[in-house]
């Protein structure tokens, strides 16, 4: 038995069924990300200014990644338009570019994550705080791990500016990095910029990782439609075009979410 | 959106223009964040630019500028519940207990 209304519209809705389905799914996605955005707002307004990190994310890289996602949004709609014009070759090119953009986005995001996992904040027993890198760029170190490893000090390359001192303009330099030696006994707390560091990084990783999972899921579907799934073009072109449109609608939503995530997490 | 291939080809130029506008909007978002407008001013400006960009994506890339009534009905419900969620969140703005520790 054939699945009804996969290519022709239902008389009562005027839409093929998959389109109704994807919009209902996107409606639920709006509420999912909406709930997390509202969590962000509550955490942000409840935080003391000196405890809310800012300026720690790389804005040029974030801007470039935003542009990559926008380009992929253009190519995904161009792929659909190519099928509407019966240009299967052009569809393949645009679809391939979309997948490459998705992989580029995830690659850049992974680089950003790794950068955070090797960037630390030290709270000293005298009440001072500093951010920077530990010699050797280890990941996920804590004071407990240092004590367990029998270390009595760390070599620390301290950043010239701490976020509690206020926001720096893009590209502004506030001095040189300083090499300091910190005794373990002088450390009250040590944390990389991981979710456990602060509410900011907890919500940053929650939002961006959930978004990245959406990018990955979208890339898999778009990749399938580029590769083995594209065989349907030769047997049922209307249905295949609709599949590409539905995948594109999801992809645009992923782009739309990032349009809000970028300023909220990187710039404000 | 019309399904005729002649109409689609006319839309392609529009998609490229919207794409270019979105990239310019991204650069504007970054530049606007450097303005000294006060914390609230910077937040409002950034969200206004983001909303304009999101509207362009929804209207043109997602074809909401010419969709069927059912999609608008679904989105009207979504907008209602999303607005309710944000209203509840904002109404809690003054409800933080003193000395809330957030890290």
Percent of chain A with pLDDT over 70: 99
The answer to the question of residue B103 being in a domain is no
How far, rounded to the nearest angstrom, does the alpha carbon of residue A58 sit from its chain's CA centroid? 13
Of A20, A58, A79, A120, residue with least CA distance to A218: A79
Instruction: Give me the architecture of the A28-116+197-267 domain, per CATH.
Output: Up-down Bundle (1.20)
Q: What residues of chain B lie within 8 A of the CB of A73, using their CB?
A: 19, 22, 57, 61
User: What is the rounded CA–CA span in Å between residue A49 and residue A54?
Assistant: 10
What average pLDDT does the segment A72-92 reach? Answer: 97
Of B15, B27, B71, the CB nearest to A74: B15
Whether residue A74 and residue B85 make contact (CB cut-off 8 A), yes or no, is: no
Whether the pLDDT of residue B2 is over 50: the answer is no
Q: What is the pLDDT of residues A49-63, one digit of tens each?
A: 888 888 899 999 999
The answer to the question of residue B30 being in a domain is yes
Whether residue B9 and residue A81 make contact (CB cut-off 8 A), yes or no, is: yes
What average pLDDT does the segment A188-204 reach? Answer: 95
Q: What is the DSSP string of A32-64?
A: HHHHHHHHHHHHHHHS-GGGS--S-S-HHHHHH
User: What is the rounded CA–CA span in Å between residue B56 and residue A110?
Assistant: 28
Count the domains in chain B.
1
pLDDT-based confidence at A165, cuts 50/70/90? Answer: confident
Start-end of CATH 1.20.120.80 domains in chain A: 28-116+197-267
Residues 63-82 in B contacting A (C-alpha not used; CB under 8 Å):
68-71, 74-75, 77-78, 81-82
Percent of chain B with pLDDT over 90: 63
Long-range pairs of A21-30 with CB within 8 A, sequence gap ≥ 24: A21/A246, A22/A246, A22/A249, A22/A250, A23/A249, A23/B71, A23/B74, A23/B75, A24/B74, A25/A250, A26/A249, A26/A250, A26/A253, A27/B74, A27/B75, A27/B77, A27/B78, A29/A253, A30/B78, A30/B82
Does B98 contact A at CB distance below 8 Å?
A: no
Q: Which domain holds residue B78?
A: 5-91
**The pairing of beta strand A153-158 with beta strand A187-192:** unpaired
Closest B-chain CA to A85: B5
Interface test mutation site (partner A, options B33, B60, B61, max chain A beta carbons within 10 A): B61
User: What is this model's ipTM?
Assistant: 0.90
The answer to the question of residue B99 being in a domain is no
Helix, strand or coil, per DSSP, at residue A170: coil
Query: What is the least distance, in Å, from the CA of A87 to any CA of chain B?
Result: 10
The answer to the question of residue B65 being in a domain is yes
The answer to the question of residue B66 being in a domain is yes
pTM over 0.90: yes
The answer to the question of residue B47 being in a domain is yes
Q: What is the pLDDT of residues A119-137, one digit of tens each?
A: 999 999 999 999 999 999 9
Identify the pLDDT of residue B1.
46
The answer to the question of residue B100 being in a domain is no
Does B21 contact A at CB distance below 8 Å?
A: no
Tell me the helices (H) and strands (E) count for chain B, helix number first.
3, 0
Identify the pLDDT of residue B103.
47
């Amino acid at each position: 038995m054939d699945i009804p209304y996969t290519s022709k519209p239902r008389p009562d809705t005027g839409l093929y069924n998959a389109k109704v389905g994807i919009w209902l799914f996107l409606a639920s996605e709006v509420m999912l990300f909406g709930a997390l955005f509202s969590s962000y707002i509550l955490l942000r307004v409840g935080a003391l200014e000196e405890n809310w990190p800012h300026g720690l994310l790389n804005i040029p890289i974030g801007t470039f990644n935003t542009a990559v996602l926008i380009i992929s949004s253009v190519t995904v709609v161009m792929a659909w338009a190519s099928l509407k014009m019966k240009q299967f070759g052009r569809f393949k090119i645009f679809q391939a570019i979309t997948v490459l953009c998705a992989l580029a986005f995830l690659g850049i995001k992974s680089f950003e994550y790794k950068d955070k996992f090797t960037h630390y904040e030290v709270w000293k027993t005298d009440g001072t705080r500093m951010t920077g890198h530990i010699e050797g760029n280890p990941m996920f170190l804590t004071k407990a791990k240092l004590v367990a490893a029998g270390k009595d000090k760390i070599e620390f390359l301290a950043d010239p500016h701490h976020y509690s001192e206020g926001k720096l303009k893009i590209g502004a330099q506030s001095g040189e990095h300083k090499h300091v030696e910190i005794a373990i006994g002088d450390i009250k707390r040590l944390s990389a910029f991981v979710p456990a560091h602060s509410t900011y990084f907890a919500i940053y990783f929650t939002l961006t990782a959930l978004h990245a999972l959406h990018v990955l899921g979208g890339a898999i579907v778009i990749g399938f439609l580029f590769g083995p799934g594209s065989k349907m073009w030769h047997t049922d072109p209307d249905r295949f075009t609709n599949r590409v449109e539905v995948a594109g609608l999801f992809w645009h939503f992923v782009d739309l979410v990032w349009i809000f995530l970028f300023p909220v997490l990187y710039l404000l | 959106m019309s399904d005729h291939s002649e109409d689609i080809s006319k839309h392609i130029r529009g998609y490229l223009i919207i794409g270019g506008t979105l990239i310019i909007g991204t650069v504007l978002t970054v530049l606007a964040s450097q303005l000294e407008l006060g914390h609230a001013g910077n937040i409002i400006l950034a969200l206004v630019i983001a909303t304009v960009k999101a509207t362009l994506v929804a209207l043109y890339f997602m074809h909401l500028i010419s969709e069927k009534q059912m999609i608008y009905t679904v989105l009207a419900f979504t907008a209602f519940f999303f607005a309710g969620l944000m209203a509840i969140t904002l109404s809690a703005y003054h409800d933080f207990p003193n000395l809330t520790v957030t890290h």
